[in-house]
Amino acid sequence: MGRITANSQNDKTKNNEFRTIADIFLCQDKFMRHLYGITNCSTVKKARAWLEARQIDYVFHDFKKEALTAEWLAACLQHVPLEILLNKRGTTWRKLTPEEQAQAADESGAIALMCAYPSLIKRPILTDGNGVLAGFDEAQYAQYVQAAG
């Protein structure tokens, strides 16, 4: 079974600032995969089970316990389109006021919404320093893991 590490507090440098976009994903460990999500999300559970069944090591980060930063979300958006990263299918989106939903029209507004409401982020997010996957699809995970070696 893959090693599952408790939530990482090592995402920041000594100066408490991110050095580069890569550091945001790598958490200063360029060989470790990081899975971001919410513990009780069924899709996150499927992704974790898939990784564990293949004995793939990863560090899990719970959105509800570790606040995400605007910088982290901006880095995700360099790899994943906003239309995918911002989950407009869930109940959190439907509960937003029309004014709040209108904020998502541009990237900075969408980032602010996702920081305020982490459930708006497509889950899970898998990173390994080479790229980002949003959501869980077995075929995509297999291809991503194989490409990473």
Q: 127: part of which helix (H) or strand (E)?
A: strand 125-127
Is residue 27 among the annotated active site residues? no
Place of tokens 């949003």: 134
The whole-angstrom separation of Cα 112 and Cα 99 is 13
Higher pLDDT, 9 or 114: 114
By the 8 A CB rule, do 141 and 43 touch?
A: no
Per-residue pLDDT tens for 77-132? 999 999 999 999 999 999 999 999 999 999 999 999 999 999 999 999 999 877 89
Class of the domain covering 33-148: alpha beta
19 pLDDT higher than 50: no
Active-site annotation holder among 27, 41, 76, 115: 41
Sequence spans of domains, the chain:
33-148
For the record, the structure tokens of 140 come out as 């995509």
pLDDT at 30: 59
pTM, two decimal places: 0.79
pLDDT at 9: 39
